[in-house]
Amino acid sequence: MTLDFRPYIDDVLADIEAHAEWHEEVSQGKMFGILVTTDGHVLKAYSGQICGRSDWEGYVPPIYDYLQPQGYFKRHEVEIVALHDAGKPTRERSAALQRWLFSKFVLCSPNGERRSVRDVFSDWATANHSKQTQPPGGTGECCAPKLLHYANSHNMIPLALTEFWYGKSPKGEIRHHGMTYEPCQAKCQPILPFLLGNRLQEVIGSRPAPPPVTHLKVLYEDPWLIAVDKPAGLLSVPGKRDNHCAEKILHDQLNYQLSTITCQLSTVNSQLSTVNCQLSINPRMVHRLDMDTSGILLAAKPPEVYKAMQRQFALHENVQKEYVAVLSGRANDNLNDKSLSPVTCQLSTGKIALPLSPDFYNRPMQVVDYKKGKEATTEYEFLSPNVVKLRPLTGRTHQLRVHCAHPDGLGMPILGDPLYGSEAADRMYLHATKLSFIHPVTNETITIESPAPFI
């Protein structure tokens, strides 16, 4: 359900500020959650603990409180720490303690059924063929599970739920103070269906579906390749839960044209018609654009051309891409030219090099990881105070979005970015405006352009 959570968030923010003893810890970054029920109750939660406590007044209690000083968990935790300090192996003991803990986190479903986090997670993993069969550490301690378990245990019917970030962004990640976020993928997604049943999308909410697309504008076409203008909100290729994508639309579009030509020929030569009816075109995208990004998308028709273009895009040597983005905020002080003031740095050019890795707990989000991340480099050129041209020199997932939003990059999220942004809009303002490559058959340099619709 769509609900304006801002008044509720403001109330929680005021309560946080009233707890002076929280400030040092919470200012470093903490997720808070709010659940509104059908009978008007407003429940609040925080992830994990604050100042070593899970029982702050006014917030829902933990699903299981394992922090009692003389309790089973704390006693065994002390033993494991002592063994570790003595240089003795602790892996098996730690794993056993974690399994015991998850057996104590017992969730309540909307119909009153009670099952442990461990069992719920395991069943979800089996049903979804997931390699992650055991819950990650901290599963059940996030805001959403706490709130839903409490509501179900007290015969309250959830109406709408949200989580928002307070304080600094975690190292490597991108979180904005006061902005709302969906529950995490790795810890919460497997157990939320049990806690909400078939009301998951209704209560947690989802972005409204974009208008249906049945035809794509062709920007370039020859016997081997075709480039189209992908609108924002459309997948490039089929997803896990949605087959409606640019590749499928293009397939139908090309084969409809082919069938039309065939039907026209049938009136002239029935034998030729029979031959042509056996033909079909199966275009495949040689690269991808994020669902929320619009612009140039290239597909290959024959399989051998698809393979050749995939190799070319993977090497990134003969492929040049340009994007235009509208940004939120103003350029920060991390831009390459340190002599420029914040007023003039919007007209600067430079290069961003921030290595990226997948965020295990929040796929498909990416994090900046200086130790294990893959090289990711972007050239930028400000065209106006909030409009920037971006040239990716590598092709990492969400590269431009992270490089714009991260404080070590531009420190200016792309306007409307639903994952890394700080300002909502009617779309994400990122458009692929130019693509150059070497044609795998003719060896010509091909350049395709698509002006950004929002400039």
368-372 long-range contacts, Cβ below 8 Å, gap at least 24?
A: 368/172, 368/173, 368/402, 368/406, 368/408, 369/172, 370/172
Give the E-state strand segments of 213-355 in sequence order. Answer: 217-221, 225-230, 284-285, 294-300, 320-326, 349-353
Out of 11, 15, 242, 290, the active site residue is: 290
Whether residue 149 contacts residue 116, with contact meaning beta carbons closer than 8 Å, is answered with no
Q: Which residues pair with 53 in a beta bridge?
A: 50
Mode of pairing for the β-strands spanning 217-221 and 42-46: unpaired
205: left (phi over 0), alpha (psi -120 to 50) or beta: left
Whether residue 260 contacts residue 274, with contact meaning beta carbons closer than 8 Å, is answered with no
d(CA 22, CA 53): 11
Closest by CA position to 394, among listed 325, 306, 315 = 315
Closest by CA position to 420, among listed 371, 369, 364 = 364
SS3 403: helix
Q: Is 290 a catalytic residue?
A: yes
Q: Which residues are catalytic?
A: 290
